[in-house]
Structure 1
Amino acid sequence: MTHDLVSTLRPLLSAEASAEAYASGTDPGDLEQAVWLRLLERLDSDGPPVDPQGWLRRTVRSEVRRSRRTTRLERPYETEPTDHGAPGPEQLALAAARRRTLRDAVRRLPGRCPRLMEALLSPKDLTYREIAGELGMSQGSLGPERSRCLGCLRRLLTPEVAARGGRG
């Protein structure tokens, strides 16, 4: 029943939507989708319309009026709402994933490297003197140790970076 109704109404809806849409500044495809939605809502509540063609014409015109009203009342933003300088959810998720990957790689480093790298990555922004005191190392050995640890970290992360870069 519904399939027959849709098959019967499809050409009429396409013609009506094309005729009405351009005059109102609405996209014909959007108008068709809105009318199909109204038909589905009607089928759920009242069943099929008694006069499907008449119902379709009235509904197309009703949706065009609704579209005009919406266009008249809505004003576009000067900028996108998310363009306020702060990173969006996608950027935040990607940054969190990068931090997790880095922290996981730091934990796999040999010897004193995990503790040293954690101290260097600390949000406390520790000085070399503070890091040396915390790790029980001389301040002069931090530079060479850091360099060795960064080399190990680079080797650990190279497969991660190479695997990600190969996509898409």
Structure 2
Amino acid sequence: MTHDLVAALSPLLTAEASAEAYASGTEPGDLEQAVWLRLLERLDSDGPPLDPEAWLRKAVRAEVRRSRRTNRLERPYDTEPADDSGRGPEQLALTAARHRALRDAVRRLPGRCPRLMEALLSPKDLTYREIAGELGISQGSLGPERSRCLGCLRRLLAPEVAAREVRG
């Protein structure tokens, strides 16, 4: 029964979808798919329509109205969100792992280096004057202190970086 109904309605649906789709900004195949889905849902709940051809025409018009409404209300992105940075989920996960490793190494630094490095890595983009005020040291000593802390950080990270490199 269902197979016969689909076979009988298929040419009519193709013609109706082709006629209505472009005016609504929809692809004919998408429109056909939506109407077939509506028919399947109807067959599950109410059984086959009494006048399948009339039902099909009404379903096509209803899907076109829905599509127009959707197109009017939804705005596409300029680019896909994942394409914004050009990085996929794997790259984002690797970057997050590197940031965690860096933060862990910064916490293991001696003296006031952890606080200085956290201030330098802060997303607030603090100035030297703000960092010096926050740490309670002179602005002139920030450069040499930063240099010592970066040297310590390099020594801490060298074994980890060397272990992760591909050899051979």
Q: Which TM-score band applies after superposition, normalised by the shorter structure?
A: 0.5 to 0.7
**Matching residue within 105, 112, 116 for 2:109:** 116
Which residue of structure 2 aligns with residue 18 of structure 1? 18
Tell me, in whole angstroms, the C-alpha distance in 1 between the residues paired with 2:80 and 2:39: 33
Q: Give the SS at the match of 1:123.
A: helix
Instruction: Map 1:21-100; keep pairs closer than 5 Å.
Output: 21-71=21-71, 73-74=72-73, 76=75, 95=92, 97-100=94-97
Q: TM (normalized to structure 2)?
A: 0.54
Which residue of structure 2 aligns with residue 135 of structure 1? none
Tell me, in whole angstroms, the C-alpha distance in 1 between the residues paired with 2:103 and 2:80: 37
Kindly provide the amino acid, as one letter, of the partner of residue 59 in structure 1.
A
Which residue of structure 2 aligns with residue 166 of structure 1? none
Kindly provide the amino acid, as one letter, of the partner of residue 75 in structure 2.
P
Work out the percentage of aligned pairs sharing the same amino acid: 48
Q: Is 2:24–2:64's contact at 8 Å kept on the other side of the alignment?
A: yes
Structure 2 unpaired stretches of 5+: 122-130, 136-144
Q: Is 1:35–1:56's contact at 8 Å kept on the other side of the alignment?
A: yes
Q: How many residues in Structure 1 have an aligned counterpart in Structure 2? A: 139
Tell me, in whole angstroms, the C-alpha distance in 2 between the residues paired with 1:114 and 1:158: 23
Quote how far apart the aligned CAs of 1:18 are: 0.5
Structure 1 unpaired stretches of 5+: 131-138, 163-168
Q: TM (normalized to structure 1)?
A: 0.54
What are the superposed Cα offsets for residues 29-83 of structure 1, whole Å, 9 maximum, x if unpaired? 2211221121122112211112222211221123223334454x5363796796x
